[in-house]
Structure 1
């Protein structure tokens, strides 16, 4: 039993140690629950360490072996330092490759007892190998491999670090005896199973930027080594942070989330990819991540050189090539419509390219000065006598018009084309592609060198984007997006970075043209940060949070181990009411109606007031890999909060069906340009319009972000499982002239 004198001595010792630690490092392990006072991130939603329950760990896809990702080397001049909190080892230990990026070892830390727990039980100790992605700084993009210790024999690595003899006292460092090779040191543990989750640093500032990998196999450490470590830090104070709540996070076993997860979704019987996560194509098709990708935005004020006056030479027939005009068929290739055949030739500097197929994209893939068009047709040509990768593509835009396009009618739009992937439809009569596209291909064009806009993203394509467009009816566009573009309503790849490539006008060659430097250009002007949907992958340059770890929108799984569960409804939480004098405003992605006075939603004992609601088509979120026709988002904010803090968004998904009387009354179709505003007749009563529907629906909930800059990760998302309907005409009214073009990718 400890006597009063010993207790007093112990308290004095802790107080002195706290003073030393606080003076040197401004925090300590005495009361880690107080860390959020000085370090707000320590009170975040993705904190570490956590308790791992192996029975609940989710095995996602094929098992991964970490040793196959590690490129560790012998560190011969490493140093061990006593930081006042731990022993930390620095040196050049090599790197680990994670999701295509190299993460270099920064340092190795020791914690006694362990920080992470397995089935609620802490281990005697834990070694953490801290990595950082190449090119990152501060506390961004970290990866930690954690090795747990059990008590047993002496640990060779810890002996090298000075345990039990030779470790430096607080504030000093010493040279590690011998070399350290982490691949050899971690050995079989690195080759075996692991648990993975996304979390934070376990010390202030508790930055939530860490990919954690906890090795399942343990190593031994002797009782003497353990006691020596404790003695270095006063003999009575551990350096492990208490366990933090998972708060809905999933712990994986032998796998990790990321772009590879899209490989496990069922796409269709005829394709191995889709447009749901195009940013992940390079996981299967590495060229898709290259520097010469298409499509791009063509800036008419950033063209290279002086415009030329050349025109494309399109041959209807030639003695060298057989032309096929009859017996053609349109095929549903799983992500659009395509026609294969022999359609003539394109002559570039006396070099002949034969037209072998054409395909359709709605909305357009390329944009001009940031403006997308209703659709785009690609005529793909292959170099005669060349390889399959020597390609030239002529792109023709479609703009909305009052009547059906007769050429597209022959391809089965708005009706007749095969709706099932792998299906086909004969094209009646003779098809002369040159005469069908004459109005466009006879005119001026933009030219640059890029890639195919779909996997395998071959980057040896000469692009000719025609300036003159053709017309297409809204009904034809709607039919394509609803029936023929698989699960995501659009089949357009997001814009890619130009990366300095020259773009010319009226010239069939870019040789010798001056390049334009463009690498995620900043849009900051006079201290103000602006943004567009042109390159959402670049938002993080001006709005760093857009590169965060809890971003929205996402795909919601309703099946399997990751399926959402629960039956709580919002029926008794709604306090919506009527509000008069409201206006509707056209936005780039749809329309928006601002509050206040729409009422509130009570959740968890707090009141959330409606700020606004907006609708965009197609939906931003996807369910089981499928996007819906449209999505309404009712934005709330917690009573008393300001700025972008404490937001709650109630999301309602729409599918094609009966006309929505609510949307019809708002009548967004009368607004033709972004920013245009019109009054709404009468009052808007969200309770009368949506209350019963919301109250009767289950919902999915997750913590995420705004889907537009600044992408603040302060949003609790509630996505209703039931769906409302709207007519195809209403989809067109919401979307405007370029349906589906303006949205953030998943």
Structure 2
């Protein structure tokens, strides 16, 4: 059985590609990162020198995708989706033969190793695997989804070219999309990190094909959403979500847990981790109003001026009466 879809190439180091680990025959290699504590996304750059882009890259994924192609502009007052993302100008072409596949638990995700060939613009790309994130990493006009599947491809002639087809899923009360229904019966076999099983009947991609053909597809150049966060990865995000029923979602969630990287800054803007580091908030969460403080003796003398250096806690009764000048400096 062959399935068709469209892809555009990006550039990144294929040897670092999430899911394409160099491993001994028969082994599942557990990645050396995670989603909690010091192994989580905020500290990925400190885990290995090659992860520097996780805190310094300016085209990082995932992002909050805007909807600039819609005929009526959408006004958002408290968030800024990246409206620089455009629609793919072509539909991709993927050929996936019917085959037995390997289903693995990498601890950071669950992954299906599957082979296929995608052709676009005279170039060929090999489908290497698809893996799952809960909840979704990408958002569309601020909306997140319960689950996201990444179908990862690398160039056949040039393995530094990487394309990821991103599929969003929403909950339903009917049957799950065939790609999920194909793996759901095998979840019990990979409950433990490092475990794997064969799915001899393969995976049905017919629902994916239908969604790609009928939906808008957003295209942008971003990064791997896991260490080393290498940039130059082409993302194709399918706007119309596929379906997953509640039992299948809960079964996947119990294994995958939480494995979603936080939304990154708008494309080309400063890395969100650097922005947060320079935000000016104190460790306790109080906002600094001024760098200067007036030492307090037993209280200010009548008619004296007062510099407010910090605001925190609850208001308390005070005998001080006076005029407070406007123009207090708030640092963000």
1:163-192 deviations in whole A, cap 9, x for unaligned? xxxxxxxxxxxxxxxxxxxxxxxxxxxxxx
Deviation at 1:309, TM superposition (A): 7.1
| Residue-pair matches, total | 243
Please list every run of 5 or more consecutive structure 1 residues that lacks an aligned counterpart in the other structure.
Answer: 1-267, 318-322, 501-517, 521-534, 553-642, 647-709, 711-746
> 1:334/1:551 Cα in 2 relative to 1: closer, same or farther (>3 Å)?
farther
> 1:415/1:339 Cα in 2 relative to 1: closer, same or farther (>3 Å)?
closer
Correspondence for 2:232:
460
Deviation at 1:343, TM superposition (A): 2.3
Correspondence for 2:83:
303
SS in 1 for 2:151: strand
SS in 2 for 1:460: strand
SS in 2 for 1:373: coil
SS in 2 for 1:365: coil
> 1:460/1:429 Cα in 2 relative to 1: closer, same or farther (>3 Å)?
same
The 8 Å contact of residues 184 and 248 in structure 2, kept in 1 or not, is answered as no
Deviation at 1:314, TM superposition (A): 1.8
The 8 Å contact of residues 392 and 463 in structure 1, kept in 2 or not, is answered as yes
Of the three residues 100, 108, 112, the one matched with 1:339 is 112
Whether 1:395 aligns to 2:163 is no
Please list every run of 5 or more consecutive structure 2 residues that lacks an aligned counterpart in the other structure.
Answer: 1-27, 69-81, 287-310, 315-329
Whether 1:363 aligns to 2:135 is yes
> 1:381/1:294 Cα in 2 relative to 1: closer, same or farther (>3 Å)?
same
Correspondence for 2:41:
278
Of the three residues 86, 91, 95, the one matched with 1:316 is 95
RMSD of Structure 2 on Structure 1 (CA) = 3.1
The 8 Å contact of residues 186 and 199 in structure 2, kept in 1 or not, is answered as no
Correspondence for 2:5:
none
> 1:436/1:303 Cα in 2 relative to 1: closer, same or farther (>3 Å)?
same
1:463-496 deviations in whole A, cap 9, x for unaligned? 11111110112332222222x22xxx31111111
Correspondence for 1:294:
61
1:167-218 deviations in whole A, cap 9, x for unaligned? xxxxxxxxxxxxxxxxxxxxxxxxxxxxxxxxxxxxxxxxxxxxxxxxxxxx
1:635-693 deviations in whole A, cap 9, x for unaligned? xxxxxxxx9616xxxxxxxxxxxxxxxxxxxxxxxxxxxxxxxxxxxxxxxxxxxxxxx
- Which whole-Å CA distance do the structure 2 matches of 1:519 and 1:421 have between them? 35
> 1:351/1:476 Cα in 2 relative to 1: closer, same or farther (>3 Å)?
same
Of the three residues 243, 259, 265, the one matched with 1:491 is 259
1:596-617 deviations in whole A, cap 9, x for unaligned? xxxxxxxxxxxxxxxxxxxxxx
Correspondence for 1:623:
none
> 1:294/1:398 Cα in 2 relative to 1: closer, same or farther (>3 Å)?
same
1:133-176 deviations in whole A, cap 9, x for unaligned? xxxxxxxxxxxxxxxxxxxxxxxxxxxxxxxxxxxxxxxxxxxx
The 8 Å contact of residues 314 and 346 in structure 1, kept in 2 or not, is answered as yes
- Which whole-Å CA distance do the structure 2 matches of 1:481 and 1:335 have between them? 12
- Which whole-Å CA distance do the structure 2 matches of 1:309 and 1:415 have between them? 34
- Which whole-Å CA distance do the structure 1 matches of 2:261 and 2:135 have between them? 10
SS in 2 for 1:344: strand
TM-score, normalised to structure 1, is: 0.30
> 1:481/1:538 Cα in 2 relative to 1: closer, same or farther (>3 Å)?
farther
The 8 Å contact of residues 414 and 475 in structure 1, kept in 2 or not, is answered as no
The 8 Å contact of residues 439 and 468 in structure 1, kept in 2 or not, is answered as no
Correspondence for 1:705:
none
- Which whole-Å CA distance do the structure 2 matches of 1:334 and 1:383 have between them? 26
Correspondence for 1:419:
191
- Which whole-Å CA distance do the structure 2 matches of 1:292 and 1:345 have between them? 25
Whether 1:326 aligns to 2:105 is no
- Which whole-Å CA distance do the structure 2 matches of 1:338 and 1:294 have between them? 19
- Which whole-Å CA distance do the structure 1 matches of 2:94 and 2:153 have between them? 12
Deviation at 1:441, TM superposition (A): 1.3
- Which whole-Å CA distance do the structure 2 matches of 1:413 and 1:274 have between them? 26
- Which whole-Å CA distance do the structure 1 matches of 2:162 and 2:230 have between them? 9
Correspondence for 2:283:
549
Correspondence for 1:478:
250
Correspondence for 2:8:
none
SS in 2 for 1:455: coil
Deviation at 1:394, TM superposition (A): 0.6
- Which whole-Å CA distance do the structure 1 matches of 2:186 and 2:274 have between them? 33
> 1:430/1:479 Cα in 2 relative to 1: closer, same or farther (>3 Å)?
closer
Correspondence for 2:300:
none
The 8 Å contact of residues 35 and 41 in structure 2, kept in 1 or not, is answered as yes
> 1:309/1:370 Cα in 2 relative to 1: closer, same or farther (>3 Å)?
closer
> 1:441/1:427 Cα in 2 relative to 1: closer, same or farther (>3 Å)?
same
- Which whole-Å CA distance do the structure 1 matches of 2:132 and 2:274 have between them? 24
Deviation at 1:274, TM superposition (A): 0.4
Correspondence for 1:352:
124
- Which whole-Å CA distance do the structure 1 matches of 2:42 and 2:101 have between them? 34
